[in-house]
Structure 1
Amino acid sequence: MPFRKVVLRMTAFILILSCGNDDGVDFEVIPPRLLSEVVIEDNAALQEYLQTHFYNYEEFQNPPADFDYQVQLDTIAGANSDKRPLIDDVQTITIEVESEDFDLEDNETVQHTLYYLVAREGAGASPTAADSTFVKYEGSLLNGELFDATAGYTWQYLPFFLRGYGQAMTKFKVGDAIVENPDGTTEITNSGVGVMFLPSGLAYFNGTTGGIPAYSPLIFKVSTGLYIPETDYDSDGIPSFMEDLNGDGDVTDDNTDEDREVALRSPAFPNHIDPDDDEDGILTRDEIIIDDQGNISFPDDDNDGIPNYLDRDS
């Protein structure tokens, strides 16, 4: 999948070419819809899906000898009319989404709800939304159309993916070991298995990519194998999850030195991928202290309440 911000900014507007005339070509610019408008439609669509579909919970409750621990989703109808609907099994996460997250100018802040289902709880711990995770996934639209999938486990640095996806991943536990099979292949034992259901405001919203239409709620089936605890993506000594300075669960919108980067006409990097968080020419790693036990302290030489690594004037 492409980086979230790149895709969203490249698809901020949809241009529809209309018939031209002798004076030239006319373009009709279709403005993005309001978050507050779309979220109502998305939630209604997700609720309807969850009420009319089920997963193979009976196999997870009493696994057959050859069960592959794959989630299967199907419609409650005909021979399956007595199945328990997904709505009875899912849990929810509510996240505030702002218009500016999608480069919109409506100044809206709208609550979005995603749904997730833990079909098998993993034996390990849970990653944060800022960790690198070893995962298998399959993405589809509500109509069942597949748009992405991995053949096996792959590493994902969660901040580079959809916000809703990263937040949902914190609710799944990983496996406990990598074992080698008699045929020489390896597998991860006791991995977490489940599904997440995302409104478009926690996915691509008005963006279109990889066969995903604008304003599409998405489904991801996941198997969480392993993760790197306290991932430090930029190797600056501070785990990425600790670089969420505004506490909104999203490290992609925390950039201490953005004004300086703009003034220098250099790329703007959020702190979690920036080895010099205050753009003072001194690496963040050299402005913090890490003791022998791995504990981090943050000196503030000028006692202004801002630690050195975030303070260009310290």
Structure 2
Amino acid sequence: MNKFKYYFILLLAGISLVSCSKKDDDNTETVPLRDYGTQYKADNDSIEKYLKTHYIKEVTANFDITIEKIPANGTQISIKDQKDYLLTTRPVYSRGVNYNVYYLILNEGKGKSPCNTDRVNAAYVGSLLDGTVFDTSYDIGRSFELYVYVNNPVIDGWGEIFPQFKTGTSTTSDNGTVTYKDFGAGVMFLPSGLGYFGSPQTNIPAYSPLVFSFKLFDLQRLDHEFTVSNGSALTVGDGVPDYLEDLNHDGYLYDLRDTARFPSPPDSYKQDYDTDGDGIPDYLDLDDDGDGYSTRFEITKPIGAPVTGTSLVYPWDPTLDNPATPNVNESETFGIPRRPTGELTDPNKAESIDNPRKFVDDDYKVNPRVRIHLDKTYPYQKK
């Protein structure tokens, strides 16, 4: 059992909005938040009206988009009815509401898709349905962690839509300028429940649906396991990046212990991997298989092992050298092994902690294989 099982820090949205009352300087008037489901119906009506009454005026070669309202008696084709760019939806469950989030694909991208716990480098423009621009990165990529349980997290909607796109490829000039091409680009239309909901922001009134056009340039894989020290969470990771613990490869990892966000999650959300069934998803569990040995211990390369590469832990699978670093050989000829299947140390005795089998090359390479940090039968249990 993971000894950190009972430590968990949630950053929950407030349940009420407090405003000053003019009746008495010493009193405050508590304004309850609106119902999420009721507000979503209103937001969705507003978003669908927007999609039917606005059109795409221009999309540049660099995927900068201009959206304008269709004038009276105008013949422009609405965003909802146009066929040049795919307008699609993603089902999202949050705070008891089944959202259907619209997003527009300008370019899918040709790189890798982020997981909803990764860090992305993206440019964006945020606006209200009336066209008011409340924030922009001015076409410069900025770094954002999509994970919702960090300090100053991005809004929930970003983590739901960015994994639907892929990064681009980059080149660096002699003066250090980085440029991207073939990156993912789109527009997301977010109901307020996946934005700021009842918390007004600068130039964003409470309960405002939001429109974000964006470009996904790059990503950084993250590893979120943490320990608790002096009452504070310290991220340490377990040696397996989050996205590799998303074993159905859909790009989404959730922590269903957050019952405020997920009071009654659908079955699809319950499929997030929890190998040992202790309620802690693997991407937050320091001992994924619950065998009493930490994941990092189980995947650390033993001294003298016939392995290559610069990392102290095995990669998920064998990997090739990175051509971008010609002076360093990162090639890893061995991945995280399964339980060893080679000859017994003493073939006349039963397999045990004192008479283990030897590792063979296939234990590190063959697919599929149950890797040792997901196999509670290894390391061998003590007598």
* TM-score past 0.5 threshold: yes
Q: What are the Cα deviations for residues 25-71 of structure 1, in whole angstroms up to 9, with x where unaligned?
A: 333211111111101001001001111112245x45xxxxxx44311
Partner of 2:19: 16
CA distance in 2: counterparts of 1:208 and 1:52, whole angstroms: 26
CA distance in 2: counterparts of 1:27 and 1:207, whole angstroms: 17
Name which of 180, 186, 190 aligns with 1:188: 180
Q: What are the Cα deviations for residues 6-40 of structure 1, in whole angstroms up to 9, with x where unaligned?
A: 5x63x53222332346xx73332111111111010
Aligned ranges 1:106-255 → 2 under 5 Å: 109-151=96-138, 152-160=140-148, 161-180=154-173, 185-228=177-220, 230-233=221-224, 234-241=236-243, 249-251=252-254, 253=256
Contact 1:276 1:284 in 2 (8 A): yes
Partner of 2:4: none
Mind listing any 5+ residue stretches in structure 2 that lack a counterpart?
1-9, 149-153, 225-235, 259-279, 301-313, 316-333, 338-370
Structure 1 or 2, whichever has the larger Rg, is 2
Partner SS, residue 148 of structure 1: strand
CA distance in 2: counterparts of 1:38 and 1:280, whole angstroms: 45
Q: Select the structure with the greater relative contact order (CA < 8 A; seq sep ≥ 6).
A: 1
CA distance in 1: counterparts of 2:257 and 2:94, whole angstroms: 15
Cα shift at 1:149:
2.0
The ranges of structure 1 where at least 4 consecutive aligned residues each deviate by more than 4 angstroms after the TM superposition are: 242-245, 252-255, 269-284, 287-291
Cα shift at 1:283:
5.4
Amino acid across the alignment from 2:159: G
Contact 1:122 1:192 in 2 (8 A): yes
Contact 1:175 1:190 in 2 (8 A): yes
Partner SS, residue 33 of structure 1: coil
Mind listing any 5+ residue stretches in structure 1 that lack a counterpart?
61-66, 99-108, 256-268, 309-314
Alpha-carbon spacing, 1:294–1:70, altered in 2? closer, same or farther (3 Å): farther
Alpha-carbon spacing, 1:13–1:276, altered in 2? closer, same or farther (3 Å): farther
Partner of 2:372: 297
Alpha-carbon spacing, 1:15–1:173, altered in 2? closer, same or farther (3 Å): same
Alpha-carbon spacing, 1:14–1:114, altered in 2? closer, same or farther (3 Å): same
Cα RMSD over matched residues? 3.7
Pairing 1:285–2:285 present: no
Pairing 1:86–2:79 present: yes
Alpha-carbon spacing, 1:133–1:254, altered in 2? closer, same or farther (3 Å): farther
CA distance in 2: counterparts of 1:276 and 1:12, whole angstroms: 34
Pairing 1:48–2:34 present: no
Partner of 2:358: none
CA distance in 2: counterparts of 1:51 and 1:143, whole angstroms: 14
Q: TM-score, normalised by structure 1?
A: 0.70
Q: TM-score, normalised by structure 2?
A: 0.58
CA distance in 2: counterparts of 1:153 and 1:16, whole angstroms: 36
Higher helix proportion, which one? 1
Contact 2:289 2:375 in 1 (8 A): no
Contact 2:129 2:210 in 1 (8 A): yes
CA distance in 1: counterparts of 2:372 and 2:288, whole angstroms: 16
Cα shift at 1:244:
6.7
Partner SS, residue 22 of structure 2: coil
Identity over aligned pairs, percent: 30
